[in-house]
Amino acid sequence: MGNYRVLVVDDEADNVFVMKEVASRNGYEVFTASNGQEGLDVFIDKSPQIVITDYRMPKMNGLELIERVKKIKRETVVIFTSGVLNRNLVERAEMLGVFECFEKPIQIRDLKATIEKAVREVELNDERDHYYDSC
């Protein structure tokens, strides 16, 4: 397992705690933020490969955060969560390149499996970049 960094962005402390625990117990370095602007600042500072973000947050919503993150580092793997996921919201998130969408509350086993899939996606991105760099 590589040294993967995960950023959890959610304004609900209980959600942050659970997501941080799931990721850190699997050996990943985890950073947290309680709103979109703070999440962007942490992203810029720590450069995580995986971002888990809520939709409704103060200062900047999750879609705005995703858009900015993807402008900085397109290959960032993003897991998007919301208390209410409707078709329009999912489509908007997918257009921004979100890896997976979840409606809260997230089941721990589903979150763990999705983080593991996200890590595999990061590994594939790294291999792809290495391949193109060597050509």
Q: Give the domain CATH number at 83.
A: 3.40.50.2300
Is the pTM here over 0.75, yes or no? yes
What is the pLDDT, as a whole number, of residue 56?
Answer: 96
What are the residue ranges in the chain where pLDDT is below 50?
1
CB 22 within 8 A of CB 112: yes
* Structural domain harbouring 108: 5-134
- Extract the tokens encoding 58: 């103060």
Q: How far apart are CA 114 and CA 22, in angstroms?
A: 11
What is the pLDDT, as a whole number, of residue 135?
Answer: 64
What is the pLDDT, as a whole number, of residue 126?
Answer: 77
What is the pLDDT, as a whole number, of residue 125?
Answer: 84
What is the pLDDT, as a whole number, of residue 103?
Answer: 94
CA distances from 19 to 32, 48, 131 (A): 10, 15, 33
Number of domains in the chain: 1
